[in-house]
Amino acid sequence: MVAAAAEQVVAGLREECATPAGRLDEVAAAMAEEMAAGLAEEGGSKVKMIVSYVDSLPNGSEEGLFYALDLGGTNFRVLRVQLAGKEKRVVKRESREVSIPRHLMSGNSSELFGFIALALAKFVHDEGHNTLFDNKQRELGFTFSFPVRQTSIASGTLIKWTKAFSIDDAVGEDVVAELQMAMEKQGLDMRVSALINDTVGTLAAGSYYDEDVVVGVILGTGSNAAYLEKASAIPKLEGELPKSGNMVINTEWGNFSSPCLPLTEYDEALDKESLNPGEQIFEKLISGMYLGEIVRRVLLKISLQSSIFGNVDQTKLKSHFILRTPDISAMHHDQTPDLKIVAEKLADNLKIIDTSLETRKMVVEICDIVTRRSARLAAAGIVGILRKIGRGNPNDKRKSVIAIDGGLYEHYTEFRQCLESTLTELIGEEASRSVTVKLANDGSGLGAALIAAAHSQYLK
């Protein structure tokens, strides 16, 4: 028997995390409403609805050699692609991934950009002799996945850091200028021709291969979404309307919050003790940086209130972020009859040893509750966007494809399946026949290169 006190904690969690369709409907409606408010005027909503200055999506005709730099979470990636037009598309693609040392995430701006520029310079050096493009300055699309007030396609000031980043002297600065300066210090002759968010990159790369892609979503360390909006539906858009009549909007939905969100004591404590209290509430409920941490907090409470973990040294259990989302994913998918993987993860990460099978089953249920809530809320967010643009309903016959990138969606099968089935549950069988979700693997990097190509200085 799992001790009653522990069962009570789990029962409370189950109840508070419940996301019946009616509640998700409210979430979707609130999301659509906040989106409209954010488009109406600057500062109109917590959902910032940032104008990306990308007014058309790639169509396949892009040509040339382009670089991309993708900075957003735990790693950054550099990418080099050779684009060869409609028929041949991407003929060559090389990339390198570098993990960002923790101390650089909260140091100063020049150290971070110096580190990035150095890695980029090494990567560019490896291109070697390239007679085809020798006389041209190299161009780069910069994917920077934090809220930026964009001032043109290739400039923007950092509004605030999110996720694990907190570098005070970068806030309010133009991140392209910072990068450009660091590149010059490395003697790297390269032009940043586009600054984009990873959601915009995912949307762009998605639509490069499939013109029905209208929404790009990130479910990785953080969470965010971008979509193609009609320029006429953006009252805050200043100056001349783009010729295409469209504009890509980076929603920054991670900062969405609403009384209809199912928040628990664990979420409230996590938020209060985070680097950005009061902010990114939606992100803290759904993204990969936080799911493991929520589970850890539940396990700690159980350990404080019951003896089912035995006489455990709580040092580990009390360490923030020691249980990561890949760990809860591994436990959640454990198919061994005696839940051996759960036992291993508990022992290795939290020093919880000698658990009964029943206790391990309870741990799996906790992972399930937290992840299910996350996936269902993410689905509700997507439905909110579809509603905003009048798609995904029985009266709309157009195909709508949602491109999703990020390690959480890519690797966490239970999460992915739950998100997809919830989408169908919310929009109904009929409408769901014209709505597809697909993985856009590393779309953010390719998308940046594609947008850089569309804004190349060598285009007539």
Contacts with ligand ADP, residue ranges (CB under 6 A): 72-74, 220-222, 288-289, 325-326, 329, 406-408, 411-412
CA distance 47 to 99: 29
Is residue 70 part of the annotated active site? The answer reads: no
Q: Which of 198, 267, 271, 405 is catalytic?
A: 198
Q: Which residues contact 71 (CB under 8 A, 6 or more apart)?
A: 116, 142, 143, 144, 145
Residue in 300, 298, 340, 339 with CA at minimum distance from that of residue 316: 300
Binding part of the chain for Mg ion, among 78-86, 99-107, 220-228, 413-421 by CB under 5 A, reads 220-228
Q: Give the neighbor-by-neighbor strand order of the sheet with 63-71.
A: 90-99, 75-84, 63-71, 138-144, 190-196
**In this complex, which beta carbon is closest to ligand ADP, that of residue 72 or of residue 156?**
72
Contacted entry of ligand ADP, Mg ion, none for residue 407, CB cut-off 5 to 8 Å set by kind: ligand ADP
Q: Which of 145, 207, 329, 434 is catalytic?
A: 145
Contacted entry of ligand ADP, Mg ion, none for residue 256, CB cut-off 5 to 8 Å set by kind: none
Contacted entry of ligand ADP, Mg ion, none for residue 325, CB cut-off 5 to 8 Å set by kind: ligand ADP
Judge whether 153 and 416 are in contact, CB under 8 Å.
no
Contacted entry of Mg ion, ligand ADP, none for residue 288, CB cut-off 5 to 8 Å set by kind: ligand ADP
**In this complex, which beta carbon is closest to Mg ion, that of residue 143 or of residue 434?**
143
CA distance 383 to 77: 30
Count of CA atoms in the C-beta half-sphere (13 A) of 90 = 19
Using rule CB under 5 A, residue 201 touches Mg ion: no
Is residue 145 part of the annotated active site? The answer reads: yes
Using rule CB under 5 A, residue 72 touches Mg ion: yes
Min dist CB 42 to ligand ADP, Å, is 27
**Residue 188 Ramachandran class (φ > 0 left, ψ -120 to 50 alpha, else beta):** beta
Contacted entry of ligand ADP, Mg ion, none for residue 221, CB cut-off 5 to 8 Å set by kind: ligand ADP
Count of CA atoms in the C-beta half-sphere (13 A) of 416 = 19
* DSSP 8-state code for residue 193: E
**In this complex, which beta carbon is closest to ligand ADP, that of residue 104 or of residue 353?**
104
Using rule CB under 5 A, residue 216 touches Mg ion: no
Interface contacts to Mg ion, rule CB under 5 A: 72, 198, 220
Among all residues, which ones are annotated catalytic? Answer: 77, 145, 198
